[in-house]
Chains A and B, each alone.
Chain A
Amino acid sequence: AQRVTQPEKLLSVFKGAPVELKCNYSYSGSPELFWYVQYSRQRLQLLLRHISRESIKGFTADLNKGETSFHLKKPFAQEEDSAMYYCALSFNTGKLIFGQGTTLQVKP
């Protein structure tokens, strides 16, 4: 079955520390993966998608098909990065399957 797993509900780091938000997926086809972010009282918005291979707000994510992972990384966390982060898997029908989400808390 297709599944996205984000093992951490909460990740708390200090400002300037590196961040890694974990995401693992289960999908027999060719996956398309996304990270969405939801800042406090705001809507879900796309942070990045693996096919674009962009770095947005200093975040990067590499698709590792061997480990079926798409971890989100940032070398130096900022307080404004505090938000809920969702990893999502897209099918060729457009449907998105989301992970449970990880709350990132960046402490000053």
Chain B
Amino acid sequence: EPEVTQTPSHQVTQMGQEVILRCVPISNHLYFYWYRQILGQKVEFLVSFYNNEISEKSEIFDDQFSVERPDGSNFTLKIRSTKLEDSAMYFCASAGGSVQETQYFGPGTRLLVL
């Protein structure tokens, strides 16, 4: 069964550094999402992406964050200058042909900012 994959599984970085989190959605899916979960807190929506553009973003998704789909398969989340409070588990999700369809989640990338 096809699955969403994410790399790396863990990333440790210094405050102020740029990080890129990578996701490979399920191949025929059209809708892509990033969520994050700070330790002990709820899963929070960051951004949704469709037709090569952002469809919605949360307040968390400020100018330090960006997403792109550089090659038609990968879906990346970039944090330009990481802060301590960016430490979290980041989940990618994809859904098929409409926003109503089930979102399938990746295993997550655990980001630790020191």
A: residues with CB less than 8 A from B are 32, 36, 42-46, 49, 86, 88, 90, 92-101
Contact B45 A95, beta carbon cutoff 8 Å: yes
Partner of B56, one of A44, A90, A93: A93
Beta-carbon contact of B48 and A95 below 8 Å: yes
Which A residues touch B48, using CB under 8 A? Answer: 93-95
Residue of A32, A94, A98 with highest tally of chain B CB at under 10 A: A94
CA–CA, A92 and B98, complex, Å:
10
| Min CB gap B9→A, angstroms | 11
Binding site for A on B (CB under 8 A): 3-4, 31, 33, 35, 41-45, 48, 55-56, 58, 91, 95, 99-100, 102-108
- Shortest distance in angstroms between A26's beta carbon and chain B's nearest beta carbon? 14
Could you write out 21 A-B pairs with CB less than 8 Å apart?
Answer: A32-B100, A43-B4, A43-B91, A44-B105, A45-B105, A46-B102, A46-B103, A86-B43, A90-B100, A93-B99, A94-B31, A94-B48, A94-B103, A95-B48, A95-B58, A96-B33, A96-B35, A96-B45, A97-B45, A98-B42, A98-B44
Tell me whether A44 and B55 are in contact in the complex, defined as CB-CB below 8 angstroms, given that A32-B100, A49-B102, A93-B99 are known contacts: no
What residues of chain A lie closer than 8 Å to B108, measured between beta carbons? Answer: 43
B65 to A: closest C-beta gap in Å = 15
**B33, B43, B45, B95: which has the most chain A beta carbons within 10 Å?**
B43
Q: How far is the CB of B34 from chain A (nearest CB, A)?
A: 11
B104 surroundings in chain A (CB, below 8 A): 45-46
Could you tell me if A92 and B99 are in contact, using CB atoms closer than 8 angstroms?
A: yes
Q: Chain A contacts of B33 at CB under 8 A?
A: 94-96
